[in-house]
Structure 1
Amino acid sequence: MSLPRYSKYKDSGVEWLGPVPTHWVIHRLGYFFEERREKVSDKDFVPLSVTKLGIVPQLETAAKTDDGDNRKKVIAGDFVINSRSDRKDSSGTAPQDGSVSLINTVLRPLAEFDAGFAHHLLRSVPFQEEFYRYGKGIVADLWSTHYSEMKNIMLAIPEVVEQRAIATFLDRETATIDALIAEQEKLIALLAEKRKAIISHAVTKGLNPKAPMKDSGVAWLGEVPAHWGVRPLKFFAKIGNGSTPNRDNPDYWADEGFPWLNSSVVNQEEVTEAERFVTEKALSECHLPIISPPAILIGITGQGKTRGMATQLQFTATVNQHLAYIKPNMEQLAPIFLLRCLESAYDHLRIESEGAGSTKGAITCDQLGRLRIPAPDLNEQKQIVSFLEMKITKLNELEAGAIRAVALLKERRSALITAAVIGQIDVRRATEK
C-alpha cells in the first residue's frame, strides 16, 4: 500500500519525532495525560494483566495479591504501561474498569483524546524506546521509568477527528496483518506436529509398513516391529549429570577455560559452543563430568518446556545439575537414533516426572536408565536416521520460511503504526474505503 505524506511539515525539535505535519500540536505528555494513582483492592476492581498483547483479564501465572488496597485503579480508556525495562512493550488501553499491579503506570487522558489513537501511539516502537530511555537504573540490566520522567516526553498530536481516522485505519490494517501472522503461526504449529508424528512413527514402527508387529509392553511405544528388541536405556548407554560450581568463588569461573553448559542448550538442534567456562580447579573439586561427543544432553528439571527436551553435543564440555548426559554404546545405539527416540518419549518423560514424591518436576538419571527404548539393529537404526534427516530437512525449510514471513509481517506492522502515529503518512483518505 502506497500512502501520501502530508503536504506541509515543521521541525518538531524532538529527535524521536522528527518533522511532523504543520497542523499537529507539540506538547509534553503531561499536557495530555495525568497519572492515576488511586489504590484499590482486586476484590472490588477486577484484576487485569498488562501484557505485550495489551490489557487482558489477569493471567493464571500472575502473582495474586493479599487483602488490602495494593493495586492501581484503572478506568476503561486509560492507558497502562509497565514501568520496568524487563517488561518492555507490555502496555495498552484498558478495555474495562479494573485494577493492575503497582509496577504499572496508569494514564488518564486530560482532554478529548481518542483511546484508539493513544493505544497505537504509546505502543509504537519509537515511543516505547523513548519511554524506557527516560528510566532510572536499579541494576545494570533493570530500570524503571516513572510518571515523573514520563510526563516530559514530547508528543505531536492532531485534532481528535484525525486521531480517530488514524486509529480506524490502523485497526483495519493491523487486523489484516495479524490475520496473516496467525496463518503463518498456525503453519509453524502444524509443521511441528507433523515433525513429531513422523519421528514417532519412524522410531516406533520402522520404515517397512509390511513388517509383522508385536506388543512392546511399553505404553508410549505401543506395537513395534516383531524383530525389534525393547530394553532399558541403561543397557545401551552411560548416563549422568553435573553441577554448578559456587558462583561466588572466582577460582571456579573464567572468561576462557573448560566449556560449561546449562539446560538452555536443549533448545538448540545441536550444541556447538558454550557461553560460560569453568577452571581446572572447578573440574577437580566439583562434580563436573567431562563429556565428549558423541553424546546426547537432556533437560531434567523445571516446569518449563525444557524438561524432557534433548539435543546433540558436538564438542567436549561439562554440564550443570539440570542436564543429564547420555553416552551411547556406539556398537549398539546410534546417537541420532537415540535423540529421535527421546524426542518421541518427551510427553512420557514429562508425565512420569510429574508424579508424586521427591522427584516431582524432575527427571532422574535412574528414570532415564529405566526408560525402555526400541532397539532395532544398528544398520536399521542408521536407515531410520537417514530417512528422518531427509524429512526433517524439508520440514525445517518450510518452518524457516514461515518464521521469516512472520518476522517480515511484524516488521511491516510496526513500521506502518510508527509512520501513521508520528505523521509520516497521511491516512485520512484511506479511511474512506
Structure 2
Amino acid sequence: MRYGTYDKYKKGTLFDVLPAHWPEERIHDIAKIKTSNVDKKSKEDEDVVKLCNYLDVYNNSKIDSSLDFMVATASKSDIKRFTLKRGDVVITKDSEDPFDIGIPALINEDIDGLVCGYHLTIIQSDQERLLGNYLYYALEADRSKHQFTLASNGVTRFGLTQQGTKNLKICVPSLDEQKKIADFLDYKTQQIDQLIEKKKALIEKLNEQRIAVITQAVTKGLDKNAKMKPSGVDWLGDVPEHWEVKRLRFCIVTNPVKSETKSVEDDDLVSFVPMDAVEEYGGMDVGQTKMLEEVYNGYTYFKENDVVVAKITPCFENGKGSIALGLTNGIGFGTTEFHVLRGGNKTNKNFLFYMTISHSFRDIGASEMLGAGGQKRIPENFIKDFRQGIPDINEQEEIVTHIEKKLNRLDNMVRINKEAIDAYAEYRNSLITAAVTGKIDVRDFDVEKDVA
C-alpha cells in the first residue's frame, strides 16, 4: 500500500528531513529517566514485588499481566522509585552487542506490585507532550537504534549511560498526531506479526517433520519389508534383524583427550566455537580463531569430523549440535557445555550425528539430566550407555544418503519461510521508521477502510 507524504518538510539537526511542523526533542527534555538497581535477590526486611526483568523486556514489545513475572523483594524507596505504570517505556541498558542495545517495551497496563529490575532503564514521558505508545515506536526506529549504538560504552560488554539515553533525539509531533501514528502502527504491526507467527509455526512443523524422518531412519532403517527382532530396549522396540544393538561406549569415543594436540604449536591458530556458534539440528560457525595456548585450559577440545552435542538445558533439548567441519588446523575448542562424540572406522560420522538429534536420544537424554533449574546437564555416562541399533557401515551410508535427500527438500522449505520472516521484519521496521520520522503521512489512515 502506498501512503501519502506531508506538504512541507525541513532539514533537522539529527534527521535529514522531517515535517516542517515537527520539532526534534531530546528525551531528557520530555521525559524522566531512571536506571533501576533492583536485583533478583529476596531479603527478609524488604517487601515482596513482581520483577520486570531484562528478558521480559527483550522478548516482549508490550508488557502486560499475561507474563509470568519473577517474585523478589525491594526496599520501600526502590518500590516508590521504580514501580512501573501504564505508558512507561522500559529499555535494555546492557548487552554483549552494541547493535542490540536500547531494546524498548511498552508497559501496556497497570500491574499491582510490578517493579523494574536491574539492567533496565525506565523512560516516563510527560504525557502532555509525549505519549508512551508513540515513544515506544520512536525508540524502535532505525535512527534511535543508531543513536543507542553510538552512545554505548564497553569492549566485551556494552552499556548505556543515563546521559547517553538523555541525549537521544526523536521527532515529536502534536499529541493528536502521535496518537494517530501509534494507532496506525499498532494496527499494521499486528498484521505483520501475525504473518510472522504463521511462518514460525510452519517452520516448527517442518522441523518436527525433519526430526521424524531422521528418527525413523536411524532406528528402523529404510527397508519396510526387513525382518525385525526385539531390541531388548523398551523405547526402541523392534529393529532390523541384522542390526546389532549395543551401547555407544563400544563404538565411539567420548570427550577425547587434549594431548592429541601435541603436534600443534602453542601459538598456532585453532577454531574457537562458543555455544551461540552451534545451530539447532546442525551447523557450526568456525570463523572465530584463537591461539592454542589461549584455549587449551578451560575449554572443550574436539577435532575435524567429531560430533559436538550441547549438554546443558535448554540447548540440549532444542537440538543444538553439529559435525565439526572446516576447523583451523583441524582442531577446535569450545564451551565446556559441549560433549564430544567420535566414531570409529565402523561408524559413519553423519549417522552418529543424526542419531544424536533423533527424538529418542533427545527425549531420553532430557529425562536423565542431572542438576537443577537452568543448570541441568546430560552426564557423559548417558551417552556411553545409550543403546542404539547399529547397522553395518554400508547401510549407515545408505541411511545418511536417504536422510539428506529428504532433508534437502524440508530445509529448502524452511529457508524460504525464514526469508519471508526476514522480509516481513524488514518491512515492519521500515514502516515504523517512516511513520515516526514523517516520511509517510498517516493522519488520514482509516482502519475500517483498510480492512474493507
TM-score band w.r.t. shorter chain: 0.7 to 0.9
Offset, 1:185: 0.6
Letter in structure 1 aligned against 2:388: I
Q: Sort the Cα spacing of 1:174 and 1:217 in 2 relative to 1 into closer, same or farther, 3 A.
A: same
Distance, in Å, in 2 between the alignment partners of 1:319 and 1:89 is 33
Structure 1 Cα separation of the partners of residues 108 and 193 of structure 2? 19
Partner of 1:247: none
- 1:21 aligned to which of 19, 30, 34: 19
Partner of 2:218: 203
- Of residues 45, 51, 61, the one that matches 1:47 is 51
| Alpha carbons 1:114, 1:163 under 8 Å: kept | yes
SS in 1 for 2:190: helix
Secondary structure, counterpart of 1:195 in structure 2: helix
Equivalent residue number for residue 304 of structure 1? 314
Q: Give the whole-Å Cα distance in 1 for the aligned partners of 2:410 and 2:421.
A: 17
Other-structure match for 2:177: 162
1:94 corresponds, among 88, 104, 107, to: 107
Runs of 5+ consecutive residues of structure 2 not aligned to the other structure: none
CA distance in 2, matches of 1:327, 1:39: 47
Question: Would you say 1:121 and 2:138 are equivalent positions?
Answer: yes
Matched residue, 1:267: 279
Q: Which moved more, 1:100-109 or 1:413-422?
A: 100-109
> Secondary structure of the residue that 2:108 maps to in structure 1?
coil
The residue aligned with 1:397 is 412
RMSD over aligned Cα atoms: 3.4
Question: Is 1:385–2:423 an aligned residue pair?
Answer: no
In the TM superposition, what whole-angstrom CA distance separates every residue of 1:234-290 from its partner, at most 9, and x where no partner exists?
Answer: 22222224579xxxxxx9964x4244545555427355735233447987x999867
1:277 aligned residue: 290
* Residues in 2 aligned to 1:62 and 1:243: alpha-carbon distance in whole angstroms: 42
Cα distance in 2, alignment partners of residues 165 and 140 from structure 1? 41
- Alignment correspondent of 1:350: 366
Q: Secondary structure at the match of 1:430?
A: coil
In 2, Cα distance between equivalents of 1:281 and 1:118: 45
Contact 2:273-2:285 within 8 A present in 1 as well: no
What 5-or-longer segments of structure 1 have no aligned partner?
245-250
Aligned twin of 1:372: 387
- Residue 145 of structure 1 is matched in structure 2 by 161
How far apart, in 1, do the equivalents of 2:171 and 2:86 lie? Answer: 23
Paired position in structure 2 for 1:6:
6
Aligned equivalents of 2:299, 2:423: Cα separation in 1: 46
TM-score under structure 1 normalisation? 0.83
* Cα distance in structure 2, aligned partners of 1:34 and 1:289: 50
Alpha-carbon shift at residue 231 of structure 1 (Å): 0.6
What amino acid does structure 2 have at the position aligned with 1:185?
Answer: K
Q: For the structure 1 residues 99 and 6, does the alpha-carbon distance in structure 2 shift closer, same or farther, using more than 3 Å as the test? A: same
Partner of 1:232: 247
Instruction: Tell me the distance in 1 between the aligned counterparts of 2:304 and 2:164.
Output: 53
Find the residue that maps to 2:368 and give its secondary structure. helix
Larger mean CA deviation between 397-406 and 114-123 belongs to 114-123
1:74 and 2:84 correspond = yes
Contact 1:252 1:281 in 2 (8 A): no
Identical-residue share of aligned pairs (%): 26
Other-structure match for 2:347: 333
The residue type paired with residue 290 of structure 2 is F
